[in-house]
Amino acid sequence: MVIVFKNKKMSKCIWSIVLVWGLCFSFVACTSSDEKLPDVSAIKIELKTQRLDRDLAKLDTNNLSKELQSLQQKYPDFLNFYLDTLMAFSINGNYTDTNKGIQIGLRSFLTYKDYRGLFDTVAVHFPDTKSLEQDLIKGFKYMKYYYPKYEIPKIVYFMSELSNWGVVSYDTVLGIGLDMFLGEKYPFYRSVGQPDYMLINFRPESIPSSVFSALYLNMHPYSMEDKTLLDMMLQKGKQQYFLQKVIPFIKIEDRIGYTVAQLDWCEKNEGMIYNFFLNKELIYEKNWQKMMRYVSYGPGSTGMPPEAPGNIGTWLGLQIIKAYSKANPTLTPEDIFSEKDGMKILKASKYKPK
């Protein structure tokens, strides 16, 4: 799950909590999937990372007051947010031994055998983060190419009791919950209620997509008020188009959260998928529950063949956005992201799949 926080007041919406960074959004070039990728080799990225998960695991639970004071010095921009918002310990910066948030909440988290086992599992799966950071650095190079004034956030790795905190963005910090990326076969995801169709998103390969999805939502929060299904498909499609731009080296199935077979089915049945939405006039649908069947993960897509994956509206939205970009080559990606009129995009895309 990608969660983005606007500020310390935590202004929430249904899908995510949105932060708008103070960025300059001027794209310098537009490339489509069949064009040569921009050369980013000269762009230098300094990525600052910290392992909060490791530092928590090493705390002396008999002296948490002093330990937390030291930890606050190391994580001044993230620790209280982590303890009170993500973990709900209600410590509120009061690092005294009498604080119930420390005695009951944090100490239990650090000593309970199941959570200690989770700390150990994260340590085994992520003995280091070098490979991941190579991908993040590549992605941030493309971010710098398209957004020259973009400031690279600090990366903090954490662990959160399988609480579905995958990637969180808070002020100048991007947090990555490593316990939510232990792989599809990690047995305890099902134990905490995660359905099978979501497990594909809990692999290490999913981290770059989750990270840059969070960054996209910082810049372009979803607008849901009075939207049609077409509008929602295009909003989700724009997010995928953004991922195509900034992490083109990540396979499309890993960007969208599909298996190879699911992606292959969509590509082979593109015309049928589009006609399904047109013929049933679903693109005009405004009922929230009906819309979410097609733009969120699920075991399938209502009314479509059993082979059809969930979230198929997002995949279709991407195809329309790609067609829109190709039919309007003078538009920059930011022009595309900023256009809010779904019907205008559809008509101008000249999208007619076979």
Q: What is the pLDDT along the chain (354 residues), one digit of tens a residue?
A: 555 554 443 333 323 333 322 333 333 334 444 568 999 999 999 999 999 999 999 999 999 999 999 999 999 999 999 999 999 999 999 999 899 999 999 999 999 999 999 999 999 999 999 999 999 999 999 999 999 999 999 999 999 999 989 999 998 999 999 999 999 999 999 999 999 999 999 999 999 999 999 999 999 998 888 899 999 999 999 999 999 999 999 999 999 999 999 999 999 999 999 999 999 999 999 999 999 999 999 999 999 999 999 999 999 999 999 999 999 999 999 999 999 999 999 999 999 998
> H or E stretch including 175?
strand 173-177
* Distance from C-alpha of 253 to C-alpha of 263, rounded to nearest angstrom: 7
Angle (CA) 191 116 57, round 5°: 135
- How many residues are there in the chain? 354
Contact in structure between 104 and 88 (CB atoms under 8 Å): no
Distance CA 242, CA 224 (A): 19
| Distance in angstroms (rounded) separating the CA atoms of residues 2 and 21 | 16
Q: For the whole model, what pTM was predicted? A: 0.89
Q: At what angle do helices 342-349 and 312-327 cross, to 10 degrees?
A: 60
Cα 261 from Cα 95, distance rounded (Å): 52
Whether residue 297 contacts residue 310, with contact meaning beta carbons closer than 8 Å, is answered with: yes
Query: Which residues in 319-348 are b (16+ Cβ under 10 Å) and which e?
Result: bbbbbbbeebeebbbbebbebeebeebbee
Using CA atoms in the order 253, 123, 73, 218, what is the torsion angle rounded to 10 degrees?
10
The ranges assigned to domains in the chain are 2-218, 225-349
